[in-house]
């Protein structure tokens, strides 16, 4: 399941960066950059957890970036992906409920970053 979450790293980073460039205002661009920083930390944590569990760094096929046809489509896509990621993380946290404190706390940190990103995405819907 961790590998599934990491398959979108490339396309997420590219799309969020793209959306920050085409955003309708400087405020929106700033929020996208905050999301991008959070997403990068998110993927760093995922890789770290994967390494701790498997003793090797993950090797995953990356999803191909597809430029959205509009800013609104890109925003909707990121919102949908964040919701889907939250569900995956909740499932992982339930599976790791009795794992070490390190794994439980790491997954909670990743989940909290998703909540933060969701909040920023809700603000972006106002623009």
Question: What would the pLDDT profile of 7-61 be if each residue is shown by its tens digit?
Answer: 889 999 999 999 999 999 999 999 999 999 999 999 999 999 889 888 999 888 8
* Of 91, 87, 73, 92, nearest in space to 118 by CA: 87
CATH of the domain at 73: 1.20.1260.10
Q: What is the pTM of this model?
A: 0.89
Return the C-alpha torsion angle 24, 77, 31, 121, nearest 10.
Answer: 110
How far, in Å, are 11, 26, 41 from residue 124 at the CA level?
Answer: 19, 11, 20
Question: Which residues span the domain enclosing 43?
Answer: 3-125
pLDDT of residue 4: 83
Q: What is the mean pLDDT of the chain?
A: 91
Q: What pLDDT sits at residue 19?
A: 97
pLDDT tens digit sequence for 46-104: 999 889 888 999 888 888 999 999 999 999 999 999 999 999 999 988 887 777 788 88
As for how many domains the chain has, the answer is 1
């Amino acid at each position: 399941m961790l590998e599934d979450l990491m398959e979108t790293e490339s396309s997420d980073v590219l799309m969020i960066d793209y959306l920050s460039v085409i955003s309708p205002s400087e405020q929106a661009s700033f929020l996208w950059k905050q999301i991008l920083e959070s997403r990068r930390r998110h993927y760093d944590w995922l890789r770290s957890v994967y390494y701790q569990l498997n003793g090797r760094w993950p090797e995953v096929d990356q999803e191909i970036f597809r430029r959205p046809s509009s800013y609104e489509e890109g925003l909707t896509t990121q919102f949908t992906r964040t919701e889907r990621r939250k569900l995956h993380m909740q499932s992982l946290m339930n599976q790791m409920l009795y794992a070490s404190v390190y794994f439980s706390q790491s997954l909670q940190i990743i989940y909290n970053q998703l909540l933060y990103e969701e909040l920023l995405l809700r603000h972006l819907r106002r623009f």
